[in-house]
Structure 1
Amino acid sequence: MYIFVINSGSSSIKYQLFEMPEARVLCSGLVERIGHENAVLTHKIYKGGKEDILTSTEPINDHGKGLSKVEKLLTDAQVGVLKSLDEIDVVGHRVVHGGERFAATTRITDDVKKDIQQLFPLAPLHNPSNFLGIEVAEQIFSKASQVAVFDTAFHQTMPPKAFRYAIPEEFYSNLGIRAYGFHGTSHKYVAGKAAEYLQKPEAKIITIHLGNGCSMSAVENGQCVDTSMGLGPMNGLIMGTRSGDIDQSVIFYLVNREGYSLDEVNTILNKKSGMLGLTGYNDMRDITKAIDEGNANAQMAYDMYTYRIKKYLGAYIAALNGLDAVVFTAGVGENDIKVRQMVCQNMEYLGITLDEEKNAVRSKNLREINKEGASVKVLVVPTNEELEIARQCYELLAAE
């Protein structure tokens, strides 16, 4: 079965073509800067253990034009990996917000599309782009089944005590205001890999997804018990440009006392805060370099970033009543030695001890970085959201 996975952003399309169930990647790519004269298409083909890369810079006016260019590459006489688009059985779409309506991978119908549109207010930066990707793919891959995999679905196993807010009941019952969580596809994938590594399906695992966006999840027996993001993706950990947890009084102070508009405060907390607000950088590599150069603000930002993670670790260990493994994943989690070291420092009481030599090793494979004999495993598990989407699509169709 050939499954084409699409992650459609506001000005980008990320994609991979899988042969399932072997999970073999035939090609992958990224269309960036859609809507600009200098849009960039990067296409990678995998054949015979080799990777060939094609790049082009040209005007790509919209998502339809972008996906049409990808379509031609898929079946190109010289570099194509398919004879016809009809060979694609399924197009799997990442959809950020599924609300309470979608707790599992779902075939896309007209009713499903209407429900995704109704959720636009809960994810205004993501769901409209995801929806656009669906509409374009339906035209280009007309014979394939279209399937939606929701970022929020994995967190739908949270109990009400974890997802409800202490606000009047009608805001939940009438408006659906509650914690939904995000990065669910990543959390599900790495938690599954960790449980498989531990040979313990019922394991108690805390997954830490650290990219430009950051979140944590408490997982037991493969199900999410709690997660750090809420109604939207701003809550919880300190992120690249997002503030994470903040006293609500700050918002009222800025609006009522300092004259900021609500839109301005929203922009500040979403796009100008986090590590960018603290240091002027949102790339952790730049911040690490600044620390090495003696920048006190950069050091303070790292202290705040890792301290927030440690606070959530303690809370989730309490929620789980124990812990088998901590998992670091995503760009920062997989590659930033200093972040892992600082998070695990002075956590011996909770069974978390880091082996500094193992932590310093760079690898693209799942690896264990705790000290020998530690009661809690500390794992680095590379995430693969596209593969998880392909697997969920395959399992859905195989079960039908």
Structure 2
Amino acid sequence: MPSEQALILVLNCGSSSIKFAVFAANEPQSPRALHSGKVQGIGSAKPLLDESGAASALLVLDSEHPYRSALTLILERVAARLNGARLVCVAHRVVHGGNRYFAPTVLNSKVLADLHELVPLAPLHQPFALDAVQILLREQADLLQVACFDTAFHHHLPKVEQMLALPHEWFERGVRRYGFHGLSYEYMASVLPGRHGERASGRVIVAHLGSGASLCALQNLQSVATTMGFSALDGLMMGTRPGALDAGVVLYLLENEKLSVKQVERLLYQQSGLLGVSGISPEVRVLLEQEAENEHAGEALLLYIRRIVREIGAMVAVLGGLDMLVFTAGVGENSAEIRRRICAQLGFLPIALDETANQQNAPLISAPDSGVKVAVERTNEEWIAARHALQFYR
């Protein structure tokens, strides 16, 4: 990295992985990271480090504190590449800001305490991001840290989209629909007009399909509806989460099956979704490979597609039509077969794919005569977080 340069480190922390990226503070318009990578499999027997420009490397982490060990390793790897440059800020992707934090916020002990109260609403991500903040506050107290919230992009949803059909007092106490994957959707809103012109400002649905999954309806590049709600459990079927679920099921599990609250939480966050239905894997790629021989793998994929198509149909109704459908995140960007199956059931819109372009994961995969433009766009949540952090550094 060039010497005398000010750098921003972005951390995206999950329960078993930490993604990181380094950006130049003097180039806020460049989405290209100077360096990036991921530590995955934290807590497993074989954690791996993937870095840009290097082969995957097997790691040895502290068995008692593997997460802290992984974070320390990332900081050491970044420091080794500084070459006289200065790390001036760390930007954290924080999944839930609740009804108090809906703009990028400088992190301190008070903010950290507030955000800890939201851990039950995003247990796969929130506690790990906050652990990273706490470690850095303790070890590098003078380093500027900024929280960038996944809920923020949806803050201006129409009130009818925020409301739940509960007594109004609960809405006032913060029990409402928030929406997530906001950094990803904000990135889409920033780049789609340059790629696709005026249509991108029309009636657009973005499908963020990864291990977590959601849809966002955009109009005039603003979020007007989304599938995730109060927590990151709602909406689409995901890798290990069920998505929308009759609340009566939870009551039944608690009252009749006598599951504890912790057992229900583990079921909903870690044992359901594609993994639960298939009994094999939370990964679409694995299930596609096995569906011909395994009935449950096929059933999981069938339900996964059905839920996506159903929710797209509901959003088309809210938008009053559709001009553009955009696929992003790990599955959306890389699985031509999943995109094909989804679009095959949306032909009534009308949607028609260019099969060659789809197989190539091309930026535009719809056929010339398709009534709805279909695009594939690689997301860049880290760059959005870095841009937000700049306002505090400057």
**Does the aligned pair in 1 maintain the 2:102–2:152 contact within 8 Å?**
yes
Runs of 4+ in 1 over 6 A off after TM superposition: none
Judge conservation of contact 2:124–2:269 (CA < 8 Å) in 1. Answer: no
* 1:330-383 Cα deviation digits (max 9, x unpaired): 1111111221111111423323222222211245xxx11111032311111111
- Show structure 1 runs of 5+ residues with no match: 46-50
Matches within 5 A, 1:50-89: 51-53=53-55, 55-60=57-62, 61-76=65-80, 80-83=81-84, 87-89=86-88
Identity of aligned residues (%): 37
Pairs aligned (count): 382
**Cα deviation per residue 1:208-247 (whole Å; 9 max; x = unaligned)?**
1111111111111221111111111111111111111122
Q: CA deviation at 1:113?
A: 2.4
Q: Which amino acid aligns with 1:75?
A: A
Distance 1:136 1:361, change over 3 A: same
Q: 1:70 to 1:82 in 2, by over 3 A?
A: farther
1:368 aligns with 2:376: no
Q: Match for residue 322 of structure 1? A: 321
Q: 1:29 aligns with which of 22, 32, 37?
A: 37
Task: State the AA in 2 paired with 1:81.
Answer: L
- Separation in 1, partners of 2:32, 2:298: 42
Partner residue, 2:259: 260
Q: Deviations over 1:169-205 (max 9, x none)?
A: 222223x111112111112212432232122263321
Q: Is the 8 A contact 1:74 1:82 kept in 2?
A: no
| SS of equivalent residue, structure 2 residue 285 | helix
Alignment partner, residue 8 of structure 2: 3
Residue 388 in 1 paired to residue 391 in 2? no
Q: Residues of 2 paired with 1:194 and 1:44: CA distance? A: 28
CA distance in 2, matches of 1:94, 1:221: 25
Q: Displacement of 1:41 after TM fit?
A: 5.6
Report if the CA contact (8 A) 2:16-2:42 is conserved: yes
Query: Which residue in 1 is equivalent to 2:3?
Result: none
Distance 1:319 1:384, change over 3 A: same
Residue 103 of structure 2 contacts residue 152 of structure 2 at CA under 8 Å; is this kept in 1? yes
- Please give the alpha-carbon distance, in whole angstroms, between the structure 2 residues aligned to 1:347 and 1:43: 37
The 8 Å contact of residues 329 and 381 in structure 1, kept in 2 or not, is answered as yes
Letter in 1 for 2:270: K
Could you say which residue in structure 2 is the equivalent of 1:135? Answer: 134
Letter in 1 for 2:234: N
Distance 1:63 1:278 in 2: 30
Structure 2: runs of 5 or more not aligned:
1-5
SS in 2 for 1:254: helix
Q: Give 1:129 deviation, angstroms.
A: 1.6
Q: Give the Cα separation in 2 of the matches to 1:246 and 1:209.
A: 20
Map 1:180-259; keep pairs closer than 5 Å: 180-200=178-198, 202-259=201-258
Kept after mapping to 2: 8 A contact 1:191/1:207: no
- Contact map agreement 2:278 2:299 (CA 8 A) in 1: no
Q: Which amino acid aligns with 1:393?
A: A
Secondary structure of residue in 2 paired with 1:199: helix
Partner of 2:337: 338
Question: 2-side partners of 1:232 and 1:182: how far apart?
Answer: 8
Shift in CA distance, 12/83, structure 1 to aligned 2, threshold 3 Å: same
With normalisation by structure 2, the TM-score equals 0.88
Moved more, 253-262 or 234-243: 253-262
- Cα distance in 2 between the residues matched to 1:10 and 1:296: 30
My pick for the range that moved more, 131-140 or 216-225, is 131-140
